[in-house]
Structure 1
Amino acid sequence: MADETQQIDDAALVRAFVDILTVERIEENFYRGIATPQGRGRSFGGQVIAQALSAATMTVPDDRPAHSLHGYFMRPGDATQPVLYRVDRDRDGGSFTTRRVVAIQHGAPILNLAASFHVAEPGLFHQDDMPRATPPEDLPTELALAETMRDELPETFLNWLAVPRPVEMRAEFPRPPFDRTPRPAMQHMWFRTRGSIGDDPKLHRAALAFISDFGLLGTSMMPHGRAFADPDMQFASLDHALWIHDDFRVDDWLLYVMDSPWAGGARGFNRGRIFTRDGRMVANVAQEGLVRNITPRT
């Protein structure tokens, strides 16, 4: 019975996730994304990126999948309110299509995004090898890990972990605040949705855009042992870039290989490579974020 209940809960989470990724057309070139279910405070940047990509995708033929996006976060989003997306159809070329999207809340832009779409073509090929990584089945979930060290973790972090999420993540290297030992600025994170999201490749690309914002900024804090839950730190994504190289499924395990070659001046720069379990590189990611020391919050 417990397993059946968990399956029902997971299915509901995944349905809600698909609703988040799906935008509604309200007028020519204008789309609306729902607010975060049970959301409060600042919007998750990956959600705004994913909805903006979904809005742009709705103006492009199905035979031209998204291959790259570049977004700048301009203002914090309000998780309790829907977002309006205005799409500018910049160019429809022979093989490439380009779109610009502005995400708007409370009358002001919160995100500018450019996206490019490309017809499938043959071409020369090479890729980095996927690094060796512990299989996801041999790694605990972060929630399970937190249960073993509950007395050592900040309450705010425990509360954050306790919120049910449609995406399951398993880290090979415990990150702060699980382990604050300074270590190289790199992470290996397996992820997948908790159930099938269907077969539409456009939806899987929007889901990847959403998930690609998970954990990336924290990579720059690995050498410093700092965490998002620390009351004397302020974190925020400043920009986000995603290049999609091939098809994939986010409801199968994907390995997110992250590193941070630089941090300084209250900013941290982070990179990511995403591989399928059989070693295909399907995406690359880059992001710079705010990592600022502040007066401790009370």
Structure 2
Amino acid sequence: MDKPDPTPEQLTRGLIDLLDVEQLDVDLFRGARLPGGRGRVFGGQVIGQALQAAQRSTEGKDAHSLHAYFMRAGDDALPILFRVVRDFDGKSFATRRVIATQNGQPILNLAASFQVPEEGFHHQAEMPANIPPPEELKSEKELRAEAAEQLPEKLRSAFLRRSNPIDVRPLYPRSWFHPVKREPVNYSWFRIVSAVGDDPALHRAILAYASDMALMATSMMPHGVNWMTPGMQSASLDHALWIHEPFRADEWLLYATDSPWAGHARGMNRGQIFTRDGRLVASVAQEGLIRQRQPKDQ
């Protein structure tokens, strides 16, 4: 008998627990493994946990940027250790480095910068116009359910296996099985599936987790491929996030992504994240591996 789908509150609690790193020693933390996870760790999980470790070592200053390099694929079956290095503590800014390891090997290096809140000059890019509201778009869960009808029954459960604590609603839904070439631009609304508390550090960690979604696929759009294309090898290589303004991760945010370049088996992706009322709250950049291996001769 199939298990009932988890409720939004259970999904939200699961993500909060996943990002709530455990302190083992001074500046040493352990991130939980994803319950029931199989295969490769989602990059956003490692980034979110690493940011939480860095935030736990910093007081009186808010994270405003992070830069991460993925070195090895993480294993969903294992917890992750995070060692924080306190590089600098100044009056206005602080910097932290975080090394994430499994089996004694680093899987991610992250550098984060923190700032005491202060006022200053302000300008921002305009929010894209004429984007339908999230209520008029289908969720990724609904789109997967529709696409699963094209699969043999024995493959459907794996395709629909995991419920996502982040509700993503793309303007241009991906074509899972027959992608077509299109301009490398996309827009997606997203938010965590139920309300969370008022801890700004938790909202930043959730945003860091979600910022690794709906991004790298943008650089594949002009080539009519996706991660399900036969022979396609894809992985995040690095990830940068700048947090500009306060926000809530349990309210709808618009992720506007584009890809200015691809080449040499790499694709460059950029993102801007807006609140529903048009505030630019974060910017993202990521380069990913997009390599299509040629089939071996029979």
TM-score range, shorter chain: over 0.9
Look up the SS of the partner of 1:238 in the other structure.
strand
Is 1:83 the counterpart of 2:93? The answer is no
What residue number does 2:46 align with? 48
**Alpha-carbon offset, residue 143 of structure 1:** 2.8
> What is the rounded CA distance, in whole Å, between the counterparts of 1:147 and 1:45 in structure 2?
24
What residue number does 1:20 align with? 18
Cα deviation digits, residues 270-293 of structure 1 (max 9, x gap): 000000000000000000000001
Q: Is the 8 A contact 2:140 2:167 kept in 1?
A: no
Normalising by structure 1, report the TM-score: 0.93
Number of corresponding residues:
291
- In structure 2, relative to structure 1, the CA distance for the partners of 1:92 and 1:149 (3 Å cut) is closer
Q: Is the 8 A contact 1:176 1:226 kept in 2?
A: no
> What is the rounded CA distance, in whole Å, between the counterparts of 1:91 and 1:153 in structure 2?
53
What residue number does 2:231 align with? 232
What residue number does 1:143 align with? 141
Q: Is the 8 A contact 1:69 1:113 kept in 2?
A: yes
Alignment of 1:10-159 (within 5 A): 10-61=8-59, 63-132=60-129, 133-152=131-150, 159=158
- In structure 2, relative to structure 1, the CA distance for the partners of 1:86 and 1:150 (3 Å cut) is closer
Q: Matched residues, percent identical?
A: 53
Is 1:205 the counterpart of 2:204? The answer is yes
Of 51-60 and 178-187, deviating more is: 178-187
Q: Is the 8 A contact 1:99 1:115 kept in 2?
A: yes
What residue number does 2:293 align with? 294
Q: Is the 8 A contact 2:177 2:228 kept in 1?
A: no
Look up the SS of the partner of 2:234 in the other structure.
strand
- In structure 2, relative to structure 1, the CA distance for the partners of 1:149 and 1:92 (3 Å cut) is closer
- In structure 2, relative to structure 1, the CA distance for the partners of 1:16 and 1:292 (3 Å cut) is same
**Alpha-carbon offset, residue 295 of structure 1:** 4.5
Q: Which amino acid aligns with 1:138?
A: E
Alignment of 1:2-17 (within 5 A): 9-17=7-15
- In structure 2, relative to structure 1, the CA distance for the partners of 1:147 and 1:32 (3 Å cut) is closer
Q: Which amino acid aligns with 1:43?
A: V
Cα deviation digits, residues 125-170 of structure 1 (max 9, x gap): 0000000211000001123234444444698687344411111100
Normalising by structure 2, report the TM-score: 0.93
Unpaired stretches in structure 2, ≥5 consecutive residues: none
